[in-house]
Chains A and B, each alone.
Chain A
Amino acid sequence: DQQVKQNSPSLSVQEGRISILNCDYTNSMFDYFLWYKKYPAEGPTFLISISSIKDKNEDGRFTVFLNKSAKHLSLHIVPSQPGDSAVYFCAASDNNAGNMLTFGGGTRLMVKP
């Protein structure tokens, strides 16, 4: 049973508009959440993270929102750019259980010029 789920395999948005990528989790022990971005033929690269003591973290065009009661987080990209086209993975960790990440299945974002 997947503990971290990204229910949208793909998302297409117009350049300049907002991209919203969603992620749900089931393990209430997760206390740290991350988003990674992956281009074809490359490894994932860290994008942004949020601790469970916060509900929002912002870094430039990227904002992550955490709703602990709903066990849901989202990544907002504003404004979206063609270079943002990639696969985005949500990941979570339970820092009391050790230094391990559990990943979602990924969402492929396509930003059209």
Chain B
Amino acid sequence: KQEVTQIPAALSVPEGENLVLNCSFTDSAIYNLQWFRQDPGKGLTSLLLIQSSQREQTSGRLNASLDKSSGRSTLYIAASQPGDSATYLCAAGNNAGNMLTFGGGTRLMVKP
């Protein structure tokens, strides 16, 4: 059974810092890895989707990488802003039904 872990569970940084969020998964037979953002009490916003054949994806200040062999993905946020404060979730996509297994999330606080 796939297990997804995110470290750290919480992170507080001053505005402007570059930061890295980590995601690890136990079953490397994934089809994709998706990163989401969730604001308190809200739904999930898809940030980046990395297919199993890809190494990384970029969108604006966000860059996500995937290393299937080591069971790891990282989300890099450049020049962080207070508006980036949210919980960031990674999810591994496995075989049947496009099922997503989520990590516990990293709660990010960017201080002005």
**Do A and B form a real pair?**
no
Where the two chains meet, the residues of B that have a C-beta atom closer than 8 Å to any C-beta of A are none
